[in-house]
Structure 1
């Protein structure tokens, strides 16, 4: 029996059980224990890759192993529920089940402390007021003056705000890409969800060209801040600023236009 090598690729195309799974030739519950073990080994490297990507957007207090453990449960869930007749590739299906499990674990952990959550709210209120008064995005120095917080406190708060919104957008992506695996969706639910996608897409179109590019590179191409900076030929600090202001605009505009519908 073939097993995956360190890169996660199969060493024997002909006798790889994961190919039978992906093709729908054999259901997960019909594989032998040994084949199940080999299938899990084959897909396991993907869990670590996704965990590392998510960890880069989170505070240092979040342990990588916690994300990997949650992602492993997501993989097992995907293996048991995968249905190739729905027309979704297993790679796409499993990736979003893994990410979904990690996001669920983050929600369970409540990784924002009460003090940090209050600091983020203070910053958001200050940024809205400054932008209303000046007609331009607030700078860290303006926020410091407005709130009385130190430079370090403002920086911590802005990073926390960015992390929070990154996870929110990741959750939205996860919901979009796994929507097709729900067999019991009613037409009304599918229509409502598509309307939500259209609303967010419309709001993204209203961002400045550089903000849209950052969102595209960071979420669409899954580049990190350093890679995005290199592509755009700007500093990482400028990427972070563009990223933060784009996400703030999206959330503020979505609330103001659609929250009371």
Structure 2
């Protein structure tokens, strides 16, 4: 009696999902569990990457929980005829669910939000009068805040901008890959992307390169510095400068502060 080697040719359930051979609803409960376990590490990876850009008050578990819901939604809505791999489709859904949850959480404390508004007004006043960015010392003097409070406010403002750029990236890579979905969520992201994309073109080449390396290529500050041949401090400066310029342009054009 020959011992078979059929096990080597067994098609895993997530492979059947990817190829479209089997739809999510046609898998057995055990197979569905296998598929979820297979893609679960992606949720944690994306949550950790997003968490690194957020205040410590945002819990990793909240991001993972919302990301899991995004994965389950992706599993139910995925159609192979979209012409993309399920993993790519799921990543967009997971990231989108995490960003939506952050908006619902209102992770920005009221006191910090007020501080950001005060700093924003001071920054615009300095830029209008002197045609340059305000220094931390100038902001401290104008607002009466302590240096620690100024830095916390600036960090919070930068976090807001990071999330907005993540939403834009999610919109650009996700909405074009699906038909339908949640009309409000997709429309809101698409409108934000349409507003900000032309503003990004107004940045200097070095500012655009920093954002591209950081958000598109997903390099960290150290890796970005190595690619550009400059210091991490200079990368951080260019990064902040680019985000602040985007925000100023957005407010100038639309009179709103969505980014």
Give the whole-Å Cα distance in 2 for the aligned partners of 1:204 and 1:197: 10
Which of 236, 246, 255 aligns to 2:232? It is 236
The correspondence for 1:37, drawn from 33, 40, 44, is 33
Q: Conserved in 2, the CA contact under 8 Å of 1:86 and 1:180? A: no
Whole-angstrom CA distance in 2 between matches of 1:178 and 1:88 = 11
Aligned with residue 166 of structure 1, among 162, 167, 181: 162
Q: Does 1:76 align with 2:63?
A: no
In the alignment, the residues of structure 1 paired with residue 200 and residue 104 of structure 2 have an alpha-carbon distance, to the nearest angstrom, of 29
Deviations 1:121-166 (A, max 9, x none): 1111111111111111222122112212111111111111111110
Kept in 2, the 8 Å contact 1:126–1:147? The answer is yes
Residue 4 of structure 2: aligned partner: none
* Native 8 Å contact 1:225 1:239 kept in 2: yes
CA distance in 2, matches of 1:115, 1:176: 33
Q: Which residue of 127, 132, 135 corresponds with 1:131?
A: 127
- Of residues 39, 42, 46 in structure 2, which corresponds to 1:46? 42
* Cα separation, partners in 2 of 1:59 and 1:194, compared to 1, 3 Å: closer
Q: Could you tell me which residue of structure 1 aligns to residue 52 of structure 2? A: 56
Deviation, structure 1 residue 254: 2.5
Query: What is the root-mean-square deviation in Å for CA atoms of aligned residues?
Result: 2.5
CA distance in 2 between counterparts of 1:259 and 1:27 reads 46
CA distance in 2, matches of 1:32, 1:227: 44
Q: What SS is found at the alignment partner of 2:134?
A: coil
- 1:218 matched to 2:214? The reply is yes
5+ residue gaps, structure 2, are: 1-6
Separation in 1 of the partners of 2:235 and 2:20?
A: 43
- Counterpart position of 1:20: 16
Which residue of 130, 140, 147 corresponds with 1:151? Answer: 147
| Offset at residue 199 of structure 1 (A) | 4.9
Shift of 1:183: 2.6
Distance 1:12 1:78, change over 3 A: farther
**Aligned match of 2:96:** 100
Q: What is the alpha-carbon distance in structure 2 between the residues aligned to residue 30 and residue 135 of structure 1?
A: 62
Cα gap change, 1:133 to 1:111, in 2 (>3 Å): same
Q: What is the SS of the residue equivalent to 2:21? A: coil
